[in-house]
Amino acid sequence: MLRHLWIAKNLWNELLEYCKAFYQNFQKFPSKSALQLMAKNSGLFSQTSQEIAHRVEKAVWRHVKLKKEGKKAGFPRFKPFEKMKSLHYPQHETGFRLGEKLDVSPFGKIQIVGHREIKGRIKTLSIKREASGKWFACIVAEEPPYAKFSNNKPKIGIDLGLETFATLSNGEKFPNPRHIQKYERRLAFLQRKRARKRKGSRNRKKANETVARQYLKLKDTRQDFLHKLSHNLVNSYSLICLEDLACQEMAEKKFGKQIHDAAWGSFARMIQYKAESAGSEAIFVNPKNTTRECCICGNLQDMPLNERTYDCGACGNSLDRDINAARNILMRATAGMAGSNASEDGTVIPSLMEEAHAFNRPRRCAVDAPTARRATAKLSNGQRPAGLCRNAIDCRRG
């Protein structure tokens, strides 16, 4: 398998060099069929070599597309052996078969440890080598669709953070495990040892694998926490409401190391794909002003990070800032649902002009400016006029 990875690396580099030379001569890139012809008789399984040709073609045209859109994009790079990590087999019963052992055409039968039974029709296989030296067989199978049902459990809103990993609208909190803090001293020690090894030596390679195994342990610890928490939530609630966070953009501005360690995006994806089979539903809402807004009267006020309690200057509401945000998230997601108890105090929220979907672009509201100004006035019962947008002030701004 290592020899085939070496051949795949050489094939990638040859095809990429051909693309660059072809463009210099003819001011255009070669076609997919031309790359497939070049990949023939490479020494790999035929479909595997074709897949590498397809990857090169997609990488080149992705660069062209992003450049036309005015986005920053680098041209595909030549790969060293360490960067070629996988071999792909796109057709079951032709390139591979799965029984008690994994039978792959170039290698024969391979002993495997299956962590769960594979259901549905098997489609593709990827043999992957990790930096730690471990090999994995990633099998894609097409499962029949789940019959939709509801587990008839309560609804919940979740506010994700760094001080506390997850805060629920019912007041329950899950602390942030801070996985990197548990392993960073050991990682720093191993990386210092690696730095003292001569580059290209066998000891340097062993040190690289030792560091990679430590990082793999860190990753597995994080995944274990996220899987257990997401499994518990989808089986305890029928509707789970989260913010549609731009995690990468947030990490680039501030607290990048802590945000990547918390892995909010991975947690949200786990909730989303586990919810269907558990009779639950995941909804993502616009995160704008969920912390600044009072969950009772809708008043907006500044909330610096050092203030951990939301003290509303309009209605006197005093609540933990994360619980207040979680209740706002639940209210936005359940707006318009019959009998929604978003604030957990028996108040039925009137229909609001918000859509609880993934927000990836600025949203305009149909409420006009005079109506928006009227909507800012708090009624004597603490509620707003039915049918008006709770974010009317923000809509008026832009």
Positions marked active-site: 159, 243, 322
Structure tokens of 66?
A: 């992003």
Sole residue written with tokens 């807004």? 293
Helix axes 32-39, 2-26, angle to 10 degrees: 140
Tokens 């603490």 belong to which residue?
A: 382
Q: Which amino acid does the sequence have at 130?
A: E
8 Å CB contact between 23 and 13: no
**Which residue's entry shows tokens 């055409």?**
105
Joined together, the tokens standing for residue 310 give 């939301």
Structure tokens at 77: 């790079």
Three-state DSSP at 347 gives coil
Instruction: Say if residues 305 and 312 touch (Cβ distance below 8 Å).
Output: no
Evaluate the CA torsion angle 221, 227, 230, 231 in order and state its sign.
negative
C-alpha closest to that of 297 among 349, 354, 355, 369: 349
Residue 70: left (phi > 0), alpha (psi -120 to 50), or beta?
Answer: left
Strand partners, 88: 126
Amino acid at 73: A
Q: How far is residue 177's CA from residue 161's CA, in Å, rounded to a whole number?
A: 12
Residue 398 to residue 395: CA distance in whole angstroms: 6
Which residue in 63, 280, 7 sits closest to 150, CA to CA? 280
> CA 37 → CA 8, 52, 57, 93, distances in Å?
15, 12, 13, 24
CA separation for the pair 55, 49 (Å, rounded): 10
